[in-house]
Structure 1
Amino acid sequence: MEIDIRGIMEHIPHRYPMLLVDRVIEMVPGESIVAIKNVTINEPFFVGHFPHLPVMPGVLIIEALAQAAAIFSFSKPDGETTLDSKTTAYYLVGVDEARFRKPVVPGDQLRLEVKAIRISKVMCKYDAKALVDGQVVAEAKIMCAIRDIGE
């Protein structure tokens, strides 16, 4: 199942400059996702990280992986989402075994691959990796919590 940027914005509440997923190219709801983040020199973080050698911060690569995880974790088989961002918050609460293997620079296309280890009503755990040109540039086990925030 593929999802364009409009569909992504229906699945998660993030917006510029924090929306870090551009397209979903494969998804099995509740199981796994492959998504794309196109990295351009126009990203606001490149102004200060670093002016002489632009490198995407590793923490934002992890955030992109967590956003991809949210998209498939709350997707129904028909592609609709079950996450109501007005009443539910989805927080990144843990990062284990994180490794950053190669810098990500403008012009790179991040392939975000995330597989569910466990999804429950309150906590989710994932095996996540980011690739550029078929090479792993970052990987981690990530945990996210789901909290009711009311309206």
Structure 2
Amino acid sequence: MLDIHQILKQLPHRYPILLVDRVLELEKGKRILALKNVTINEPFFTGHFPHRPVMPGVLILEAMAQAAALLAFDTLGVVPDDKTVYYFAGIDGARFKRPVEPGDQLRMEVSLERMKAGIFKFKGTTRVGEDIACEAELMCTMRTIA
């Protein structure tokens, strides 16, 4: 549904923190299914961990939040500009079920649970194949900066 060129037009993130490679499905106001291909070339693997490369859990959460941002933008019908910032407001119930390693493909499914007073609440699940790697509830908000 969205390739990397379309994602780059919406998300302000760039290397090394852009963590969504493709969007496979997008249901306005409901859910998104996005991909992140994890390679040994990721800069965090140098130090996490040199003897056993594992993707940091906070970056898995960040990848889900970036997918959630794309869903929020589509739901509101907005194309963010360079004055729009999308922030985490909270993370609840984060659980990590399996390590994510080089060669894995993250399939992030994020659903919009509710939207009120500029706060979005999402439920996200990230899988590698059929295995759940991470689950969490995310709260995010958009702000316009001066």
- Counterpart mapping for 1:41-56 below 5 A: 41-56=40-55
Q: Which runs of 5+ in 1 are unaligned?
A: none
Which amino acid counterpart does residue 104 of structure 1 have in structure 2? Answer: V
Tell me how far 1:120 sits from its aligned partner.
Answer: 3.8
- Counterpart pick for 2:124 among 124, 128, 150: 128
Question: Is residue 8 of structure 2 the alignment partner of residue 9 of structure 1?
Answer: yes
The alpha-carbon distance between structure 1 residues 76 and 117, as it changes in their structure 2 partners (threshold 3 A), is: closer
Tell me how far 1:133 sits from its aligned partner.
Answer: 0.8
SS in 1 for 2:86: strand
SS in 2 for 1:72: helix
Tell me how far 1:95 sits from its aligned partner.
Answer: 0.5
Report if the CA contact (8 A) 1:30-1:74 is conserved. no
Number of equivalenced pairs: 146
Which amino acid counterpart does residue 21 of structure 1 have in structure 2? Answer: V
Q: Which runs of 5+ in 2 are unaligned?
A: none
The corresponding residue for 2:144 is 148
State how far apart, in whole Å, the 2-side matches of 1:60 and 1:85 are.
Answer: 24
Report if the CA contact (8 A) 1:95-1:142 is conserved. yes
Tell me how far 1:84 sits from its aligned partner.
Answer: 2.1
Tell me how far 1:27 sits from its aligned partner.
Answer: 0.4
- Counterpart pick for 2:92 among 71, 93, 96: 96
1:82-110 Cα offsets, whole Å, 9 max, x none, are 14232221101211000000000000000
- Identical aligned pairs, as a percentage? 52
- Where in structure 1 do 4 or more consecutive aligned residues deviate above 3 Å? none
State how far apart, in whole Å, the 2-side matches of 1:69 and 1:139 are.
Answer: 13
State how far apart, in whole Å, the 1-side matches of 2:126 and 2:97 are.
Answer: 10
SS in 1 for 2:44: helix
1:43-75 Cα offsets, whole Å, 9 max, x none, are 000000000000000000000000000011111
Tell me how far 1:147 sits from its aligned partner.
Answer: 1.3
TM-score, scaled to structure 1 = 0.92
Report if the CA contact (8 A) 2:123-2:136 is conserved. yes
